[in-house]
Structure 1
């Protein structure tokens, strides 16, 4: 059994985190393959910046200034960094022993939910455009595209689904790594909103210093479903 867990592939891990998050987290953490977390982080950036690169290859132009891409990268990495350290402090206060390296990889595994949400949004935009244009690529960086109200109505559901699954996956990771009961893991997951929001706020403030207007950019991106309907 141990050998099977060590050889779990990345696609299998991605699929398993949605179909059976508890079992997959157990395989990733206890099977000696926790270093796959860095692979999740890598593919998250590939998916996140895919439209930027694709648009540049097609048109020869950047969607945004390089400073914006830098700030977005800084925002993601700093949020992850602050969250992990604040979460480690929270776990220490609760007498839950989870190594910080393992905690970091658990957080990276949870990025699979955001990856799926972004991919579904890209796919929804492509479907709405009839698959005959590249207008769907404008959705992520600009916050709007030519999409009907019916298609736009699915967007909040996709974003909420990703958020819920991220919480489920993190809860499963805490349960396995900390050898906790489900009730205890769920309670800690709720408390983990404090470290997460702390990381988001601090990252936004720092990115705003590097590129003034970044907070407004993120606010517009977050509210993109309504922007699409109004386009």
Structure 2
């Protein structure tokens, strides 16, 4: 599953992304409805919903009540057993213990992964600022990943700013394509970053960039690589 580029244009409920501060944490804070991405992305986003996961963990109790109807009442009144099952499902099935975190990736490899993220994020932000013709102000690339360990990583990537009103910025299709193409690839994957984040127990990463730092060369490259201007109608 590729990273989901989060912006007002890529969700059905853009008002949910409104914020008073950045970097904005999204997972477990707001419910967003992704546009596109297919059923796999929608299902993965739904799994982040804790009540739904609790229902999945408790589904054996529901099945048992249908099979052994005479035991339905005692089963439904076993809260301690249910709490134990939920705890096991959340802490052992979906997450890794503090002891195992350090075995997922060695310290040097984790540091290299985070250095790669910082380097690529700055490169993306440089190109975005140049593409927009932005000569001042701060841009922030925010990469958030799910804390759940044993399922496909869910990665949200957004561009945020403190300039004016703190907000998650809208992104044109070519800007979203730029992020998708430049941030992750076969050499630096979402899973690699996820292991580093699991090791450090940190799941929100951000890189800030001052648009004044965009070179003339980067602006020229963005101009040459950008979409051709459309001719005015006669």
Regarding TM over 0.5, the answer is: no
Larger radius of gyration: 2
- Structure 2-normalised TM-score? 0.29
Q: Which structure shows the higher strand fraction?
A: 2
Q: Which structure shows the higher helix fraction?
A: 1
